[in-house]
Structure 1
Amino acid sequence: MPAILWTAVLLIFKTQAKDVPPVQPGPLRTSAFIQTPNNTPGNKAQRGTDVTLSCEVSRLPAFSTLQWEREEAPASNTTLFFNNTAYIILHSVDQRSQGKYTCRLRRNGTVLMHQSQTLHVTDSTYSKKIFSLYRESSDSSDLSLICKSEKRYDRIQWQRQQPDLILISAEKGREPKVNGPIDPGKGSSTSYDGHEFIFHISPVRFNYSGTYTCVGCDQTPYFRVKLHTVRVSAEPPDGVFSNMSVDLTCEVSEVADPLNLAWLRMEGNTAVLVKQDILSKENSSRTLSVTLRNLSEDQLAWQCAVFTEDTLRALAPITVRLLSAFAETPKQGGGAVVEGTNLLTVHIVVCAVAGCVVILLGALLFYCQRKSASGAPPSDKKNLRAGRCHSVPDDGHIVVVNPAEEDEEELHYASVTVVGVCHGASGNPIKKVRSQNPWNLIESDQNLERSKV
């Protein structure tokens, strides 16, 4: 009977499950943040600027993914998924960046819906605008400053802030001349053809922020870029134990327009919002900090995201280092951390050195004792072994020394007995004692007394 009841319950449950409709993702919307030059027809991005593509869905069903792809292949830039929106940032676009980008919603490998954006890029860089770019300050970050003129120039240069601060210049058909203080990266132009000149910066440092201008020989500004840098840091910087807290700080070089800084905890490409704040010129703040406590292995990857008008402009990742229980406590303020294995090695080396020192000291002490024992006068050593009797002139007593075992190499123990006066009948001292037994000496004295009588 119970088996029949359980079978009926299962049949009812399966019937109801079939009747429940699957969760619908809702509409799929895509958008593109494109920086366009002045009076340019169409939706063309300015060459050398950044483009942000976003794809939003109202609800993301379980076991589903939302990702940007280009020509049936994943886009080269990493896709960030946050708040049911997939973002992708295309840095320093040029003609190679043009094409169709498609956002696809997949569930269990099946495409549920998709939508595309087509990107066009201008051929030249001439514009009167100043374009804003954001870059993280790290060894893996880079920036390509592209200058492409419509007419031919015999000389061109990249300068920063003031006209007299020339970073790099080139004449037609010659190698560029670097004036510093920023060295050109591997992607920089090695010669100038009269039209296009690229100044590649890698890595990007925090103090590289500022306005960069490409100027021709007629002093015409052909391209102007305002670079904003973003850096992240952790305190303590060398890692923490799971029961310790760590402070993460995100800082921007300048706040010209309202910015939204957000700290995101990463779970793969999916971001979880932990803290955010809106910065502006009025509040004069350029940082956002968050304190993390009781970290686990799946809470170590973080990113600081920079948004302008709900558009993702930059990402600055950081990974917290979680120390093992065998590691030495990290020093505050950038001290070095000794891992457990290194600490164990240090202990072994110290113990080995201490053991060697003890052995050497023991051997030296033994050598000194042996040398001291062997340094006694030969006659004294012979008398001690033979049990000689020595008379002491001051008190007239005789000291008898019982030797140790003859088999021993050194003399370790001896017994000393005071016998009495060691003089004969004539008052002369006895020169030889034949027996080592003190009772023989007493018997000799008694024989002397009888002979006297």
Structure 2
Amino acid sequence: MNFNVRIAPVLFGDAGIYTCSLESNTFLTIKLITVKVTAEPPDTVTEGDTVTLSCSVSDVTAPTRLVWINGDGETVGDKTLTGEEKSLSLILHKAERSREKWTCGVFDQDRLRIVAPYYQERSDLHDKVYTVYRSDIDHSELKLICEASAELSKTKWTWKPHFQNQVMEIATTDKSQPIIISGRSYFENRLRTTQEILNVSNFNLRIVPVQFEDAGDYTCSLGSHQYVTIELITVRVTAEPPDAVTEGDNVTLTCSVSEVSESMRLVWINSDGETVDEKIFMEWKNEGDSLQLIIPTDDKIRRKWTCVLFHQSRPKIFIPYYLQVKNDFTSERIILVITRSLVLLIFMILTVVFCRRMYEISALVWIAQLSEMNKQLQLAANNYCQAIQNSKSMKEGL
């Protein structure tokens, strides 16, 4: 019987110790350490503005390192934390376009445990086309920023999916009228606006959480003029079988990318930070691709695997996968409980046998004592009878 609980999405305040118990026996204890990245100011910034990023960890009980990595894959901040220090700040003096993504990495004993990306949304996107990367885990978000003014003409957001050859209108506004979301047939409640009525030159949308199938080209148009185009490339990791497996079984992990361009690379990294497999794409193609990795579950150390997407030698996105093994804790606990029960049962049996043996010995001693007393009584009775007989004989002789 499975007694599984799922928390989604995980919040920073969910950190703590989770215990699964059966009566007085503890089967599993999980210590959850959470990481978050915050920005000040928290909203979209203009080129040249200063932004302070803070990476915080909920608990520090062992030597822990926080590392900031920019969009070029370069380490720009590194700090070993103590019990009192639990965060690392990074000041960005200029929100450069080439470094719009920043990643905080948490290392424990030189092993990368988790990565927390931060995407610096910029507002200087007039007449530009750029690419962003998102995964479909950890409640990821896509912000669609458009500064087009709809005071004189119709403004709209359209979406051309990578998996379909059509253009869909997902949001419109006309002459500062309320924004109409027309893409809910697909996105449902995941597509939202930052405000109901257009604010001068602010026609911004957000998709949260991002799904793998959301990949495609998002275009903001003012009349017939295309104001900005954002290409979304999505990456995801799947497992077969998808649920927790029994120790000894193999698991096939698949890292998929929605669209492939030249100089793109998928890499699998184990918990030691070692590259175990990679696939290099040499040409562009308007379709996705993937990289599979078969891993054994009898390796109790390497239970975390990370897929990394590189573009022109720059890491664009990290997707961790945590392998769940059923017998990792339950079998050992069950064996321990059974062993303890058997020991207790054997002790009780030996106690009963000992007590019964002692009872039998005591009964035999008691019977022997009664037999001896009976012999003594019979001897006394015989002596008494003999004395009486002797007394009668003496009287008859006289």
TM-score (structure 2 length as normaliser): 0.51
SS at match of 1:223: strand
Q: 1-side partners of 2:102 and 2:311: how far apart?
A: 23
Q: Partner letter of residue 121 of structure 2?
A: V
Within a 5 Å distance, the mapping from 1:157-176 to structure 2 comes to: 157-161=156-160, 165-176=168-179
Within a 5 Å distance, the mapping from 1:349-364 to structure 2 comes to: none
Within a 5 Å distance, the mapping from 1:3-14 to structure 2 comes to: none
Rate the CA distance shift 1:297–1:189 in 2: closer, same or farther, 3 A: farther
Cα displacement string for residues 348-404 of structure 1 (whole angstroms, at most 9, x for unaligned residues): xxxxxxxxxxxxxxxxxxxxxxxxxxxxxxxxxxxxxxxxxxxxxxxxxxxxxxxxx
Within a 5 Å distance, the mapping from 1:27-46 to structure 2 comes to: none
Q: 2-side partners of 1:325 and 1:256: how far apart?
A: 40
SS at match of 1:214: strand
Partner of 2:119: 91
Q: Partner letter of residue 292 of structure 1?
A: I
Deviation at 1:262, TM superposition (A): 0.8
Partner of 1:273: 275
Deviation at 1:78, TM superposition (A): 3.0
Cα displacement string for residues 65-92 of structure 1 (whole angstroms, at most 9, x for unaligned residues): xx973249xx9953267999x9985325
Kindly report the root-mean-square deviation, in angstroms, between the aligned alpha carbons of the 2 structures. 4.3
CA contact 2:215–2:234 (8 Å) conserved in 1: yes
Q: 2-side partners of 1:248 and 1:136: how far apart?
A: 15
Q: Partner letter of residue 226 of structure 1?
A: E
Q: 1-side partners of 2:90 and 2:284: how far apart?
A: 41
Q: 2-side partners of 1:163 and 1:262: how far apart?
A: 32
Q: 1-side partners of 2:275 and 2:299: how far apart?
A: 17
Q: 2-side partners of 1:187 and 1:296: how far apart?
A: 46
CA contact 2:247–2:326 (8 Å) conserved in 1: yes
The answer for unaligned runs of 5 or more in structure 2 is: 1-46, 51-69, 93-100, 335-398
Partner of 2:73: 54
Rate the CA distance shift 1:197–1:163 in 2: closer, same or farther, 3 A: farther
Rate the CA distance shift 1:213–1:297 in 2: closer, same or farther, 3 A: same
Match of 1:289 among 282, 292, 295: 292
The answer for unaligned runs of 5 or more in structure 1 is: 1-40, 45-50, 95-122, 329-339, 341-453
Deviation at 1:172, TM superposition (A): 4.5
Deviation at 1:194, TM superposition (A): 2.9
Q: Partner letter of residue 312 of structure 2?
A: E
Q: Does 1:307 align with 2:310?
A: yes
Deviation at 1:233, TM superposition (A): 0.7
Point out the structure with max Rg over C-alpha: 1
Rate the CA distance shift 1:256–1:54 in 2: closer, same or farther, 3 A: closer
Partner of 2:105: 79
Partner of 1:198: 204
Q: 1-side partners of 2:88 and 2:279: how far apart?
A: 28
TM-score (structure 1 length as normaliser): 0.46
Q: 2-side partners of 1:297 and 1:185: how far apart?
A: 41
SS at match of 2:213: helix
Deviation at 1:178, TM superposition (A): 1.4
Deviation at 1:196, TM superposition (A): 0.9
Q: Partner letter of residue 140 of structure 2?
A: S
CA contact 2:220–2:226 (8 Å) conserved in 1: yes
Q: Partner letter of residue 238 of structure 2?
A: S
Partner of 2:124: 124
SS at match of 2:171: strand
